[in-house]
Structure 1
Amino acid sequence: MSERHCYYHPLEAARWQCRGCQRLLCSRCVPVNDKRTGHCPLCRAPLRYLGSANTAVPFWNRLGAFFVYPLGRAPLVLILICTLLPAFMTPGLLSLAVSLLLLAAQTRYLYAVLEHTSEGELSPPPLGVAFSGGGLVLVIQQVVIFVVMAAAVEMSARFLGPVAGVIVMLAVLLALPATVMLLALEGQLGEALNPLRWLALMSALKWPYFVLYGYLVLLVLGAGVVTDFMWQHFSPAVAQALAGMSASYLSIVAFHLMGYLLFQYQDRLGYAADSSEELPAEQGPRSDNETLRDVDLRLREGDFRAAAGALEGYVERHRQDTQQVPRLFRILVEMDDNDRILRLQRVFMEHFVLSTHAADLAALIERCRKADAGWLPSNAERVFQAAESLYQSGHTRLALWMLKDYHNRFANEPMWVADALLLTARILANHVRNAAKARNFLTVVAKRYPERAAKAQALLAELDQHGTLADGR
């Protein structure tokens, strides 16, 4: 089948399809879960789970795995039991009964292999399945199928002629794998004997069914060649045991192959199964990764408001995220949502100051002022750091605005006030070209703030000598 890809991630195979907008989504868009229920992150319509069929390797590309499959512990033990146990028993009623029970167990296991594989379980079922009951019923059902098919061929040849008999024989031989698969899936003899169901299954699977049929024919021919070789080169007892083992081995390969065909084309048959090689994660509380997936989808759809709403909660929990904090700011800028920017200004300012994103910092301050003309940040350290960053990046007007009335706003933070006055003096001297006003600020620091008095005196001397102040704290 042609692999369908995610609408938003074209390199990813689709795992879901929205019943509303019909978008194909991958596990990056919608996390896989055991319940296989969910809603489209865009239109909120229910999702249809596609299972692992869309990511399954075509059966013709993994033939080696089919022949390794019976070498697992459980099938290998079953093969040995069913082959060797009758060989050590003397002929009689007990031997016949044991052989019949072993045939039932083997048949039950073969159908379990088909069922498990069709559900995406690519490891052999446990040995206990073979002895869990129901095997004898399957044997009887399988015998009935063969008898009915043989009777159909005989009746066709008798009443419609030899040509019709040959055509019917070819048809029932072609439908034989379909009857096995239907009996395994439906568990009802009537379904397995219904020619309309054969046609429905073959038409749903299309040409891969006939490719499978070709492989099954090769397996049957291979079993015949192996049996002939055994009887020619070994004693009858050894040949019988080895031929039985090879027949059991190839039977497991055949049933595993039929089960995988159903798994690979499950979407055509109307069900969804996960591969055991790709275990789904259980659905739990919404994770950060899921939130970011939702943000990505919303942005791809141009739904900035929903993207901002999802990302805001994430940023509140992860204020140090160097990618998502500026991303949220850019989204809000694109939306021109200054009110929300003002509400989140502490998060943004802390990030932009510490990461020296001066351009974003300047944009943040301008937008906060637009949202609230009377707004002023309330953290002394952060205000000074922001002003210093703005000054060093050339945003002197905004730097002076940040320092406006700093000594009154943060009178209980004398060290920061002193540093703010020194920075103000530097801006006035170097960019406003107002040396007199700069000298006034430096004089205030020298007189009122002993911890910075020496620094202020040195700057006063520098100002008198050069008319400007060297940049630096």
Structure 2
Amino acid sequence: MQTAATPVVPFWNRLRTISLYAFRGESLITLIVLSACSLLSLLPGVGVIIRLLVTVAFYKFGFEVLHATADGRMDPPAGGLRVEESSGWSAIWLQTGFIALAVLALLLFGPVFGLIAVIVLAFGWPGAMMSLAIDGSVSHALNPVTWLSIMSRLGWPYFVATLLCLVIYVSMANAQALFAPFLPSVLAIFLAQFLSGYALVTTCHLMGYLVHQYQDELGYVSDQPASAPTPPRDPDRDVLDQTEALIRDGKAEEAAKLLHAQLRSRGGADTAHLRYRKLLRLIGDRDGQLQHGREYLSSLVARDKEILAVDIARECAELDPAFAPTRAEETTWVAHKAAQLGQSQTALRLLSGFHRRHPDSADIPKNYLLAATLMFERFNRDKDAHALLTQLQKSYPGHELQPRIAQQLAIVERMLNQAPAKPA
């Protein structure tokens, strides 16, 4: 994490450096090589496949740039295409999902409201890419709640960065249209691919820098600490290196056991915990993910890591809808934070059955008032909300929340008693 002694320079003060990033070192070499490879798309029969593979390779490098920048490494990553093959394909699926949403919006809402929806999707794209780079989940990145959460956390800098990304892509398209008619087809293909690659690398570097600048707000945990004059040695580095070696040898289960033993005996930073969860997902250990989720949540709650805590709770609740933290106060904290971050389904799952798990908890009225409010406002479960609020009113007379319970109950009752409009 960045400390007060080494503040991050805001991205708006580094725009020239960001715009020239793609022309430095390994980045320029990678752009030239992949653009040259795109010429093979002219081959009959295999051209489409080659173009797709080149696009995946560009996205792989883009993700390497994003990760490196988010971790505080401002030089282009050495070694070229080092990230997993799945990263490039995930980006392709994410882009396909956004295109499908845009087409669906235009078909369902018409040209005016459809265009508005497309603009919303354009502003959500950087948030989706940052989300995909952080946790690798395409479904999570496609969720509008994810974009809105990132937008609310970053505020106006997010929208400024998004506009810069749009300017870069529009400028790239204009440059292609300007030069393509005057060049031979081979040079035109090379230039078009090079400009597209430049736009991708530059925007990925910009998005990575945004994650780096606001890593605390996003709850981002770097795989590598940012450089400092006297960096402390990562106590988990040795065991993480050992697990990576085991994974390369196809021994993912042994890697998971090794990291589990480390976390049990000596604890570990968030980097080690998140790596362990990835290993558990890789080997399909559902019970291990749930058990670790409960243990890890206690640490996150104690350290007020709300975004990461809600993400872990969401993962576990998707694996088991009955999942809940061990302690009542932890469930209360995570559920209310989830509701604040727009994760209503996660909040409701955590609160379901709370009174049975913790019959003596003083948080029951507060939690079930929240649950009833979410049922009514987010899920159209008016009757369930009414029943829950009525039970709260009967079970906790004189409680300090009774005025709010009565107010919410009156709102729900007005909605339930509202007669449907009769045809004229």
Q: TM-score, structure 1 length as denominator?
A: 0.45
1:268-322: per-residue Cα shift (whole Å, max 9, x none)? 11246577453542369xxxxxxxxxxxxxxxxxxxxxxxxxxxxxxxxxxxxxx
Corresponding position of 2:231: 281
Aligned-partner Cα distance in 2 for 1:104–1:112: 12
Percent pairwise identity: 27
Q: Which amino acid aligns with 1:233?
A: F
1:50-80: per-residue Cα shift (whole Å, max 9, x none)? 5479601111111121123212332222211
Unaligned ranges ≥5, structure 2: 235-424
Q: Which amino acid aligns with 1:172?
A: L
Corresponding position of 1:70: 22
Q: How does 1:250-399 map to 2 (within 5 A)?
A: 250-271=199-220, 273=222, 276=226, 278=228, 280-282=230-232
1:145-172: per-residue Cα shift (whole Å, max 9, x none)? 2233224413541xxx544323212211
Q: Which amino acid aligns with 2:174?
A: V
Cα distance, 1:166–1:249 mapped onto 2, change above 3 Å: closer
Is 2:222 the counterpart of 1:237? no
Q: How does 1:31-180 map to 2 (within 5 A)?
A: 50-51=2-3, 55-87=7-39, 90-130=42-82, 132-157=84-109, 161-180=110-129
| Native 8 Å contact 1:113 1:259 kept in 2 | yes
Unaligned ranges ≥5, structure 1: 1-48, 285-473
1:128-154: per-residue Cα shift (whole Å, max 9, x none)? 435752245224422432233224413
Deviation at 1:88, TM superposition (A): 5.1
| Native 8 Å contact 2:65 2:208 kept in 1 | yes
Cα distance, 1:162–1:225 mapped onto 2, change above 3 Å: closer
Cα distance, 1:75–1:114 mapped onto 2, change above 3 Å: same
Aligned-partner Cα distance in 2 for 1:185–1:175: 15
Find the partner of 1:215 among 164, 171, 178: 164
Deviation at 1:98, TM superposition (A): 2.7
1:379-425: per-residue Cα shift (whole Å, max 9, x none)? xxxxxxxxxxxxxxxxxxxxxxxxxxxxxxxxxxxxxxxxxxxxxxx
Hey, which of these two has a bigger chunk of helix by percent? Answer: 2
| Native 8 Å contact 2:106 2:113 kept in 1 | no
| Native 8 Å contact 2:64 2:77 kept in 1 | yes
| Native 8 Å contact 2:128 2:141 kept in 1 | yes
| Native 8 Å contact 2:130 2:207 kept in 1 | yes
Cα distance, 1:197–1:279 mapped onto 2, change above 3 Å: farther
Aligned-partner Cα distance in 2 for 1:186–1:69: 25
Cα distance, 1:146–1:280 mapped onto 2, change above 3 Å: farther
| Native 8 Å contact 2:102 2:114 kept in 1 | no
- SS of 1:240 mapped into structure 2: helix
| Native 8 Å contact 2:180 2:188 kept in 1 | yes
- SS of 1:173 mapped into structure 2: helix
Aligned-partner Cα distance in 1 for 2:192–2:111: 34
Aligned-partner Cα distance in 2 for 1:90–1:74: 26
Aligned-partner Cα distance in 2 for 1:231–1:202: 37
| Native 8 Å contact 1:52 1:272 kept in 2 | no
Q: Which amino acid aligns with 2:56?
A: A
Aligned-partner Cα distance in 2 for 1:166–1:93: 37
> Radius of gyration: which is bigger?
1
Aligned-partner Cα distance in 2 for 1:79–1:50: 31
Corresponding position of 1:41: none
Q: Which amino acid aligns with 2:27?
A: P
1:216-255: per-residue Cα shift (whole Å, max 9, x none)? 1210121022112211432232122112212211211111
Aligned-partner Cα distance in 2 for 1:113–1:279: 23
- SS of 1:55 mapped into structure 2: coil
Q: Which amino acid aligns with 2:29?
A: V
Instruction: Count residues with an aligned counterpart.
Output: 233
Deviation at 1:117, TM superposition (A): 0.9
| Native 8 Å contact 1:121 1:275 kept in 2 | no
Q: Which amino acid aligns with 2:117?
A: V
Cα distance, 1:153–1:236 mapped onto 2, change above 3 Å: same
| Native 8 Å contact 1:113 1:255 kept in 2 | yes
Corresponding position of 1:188: 137
Cα distance, 1:215–1:275 mapped onto 2, change above 3 Å: farther
Q: Which amino acid aligns with 1:243?
A: A
Q: TM-score, structure 2 length as denominator?
A: 0.50
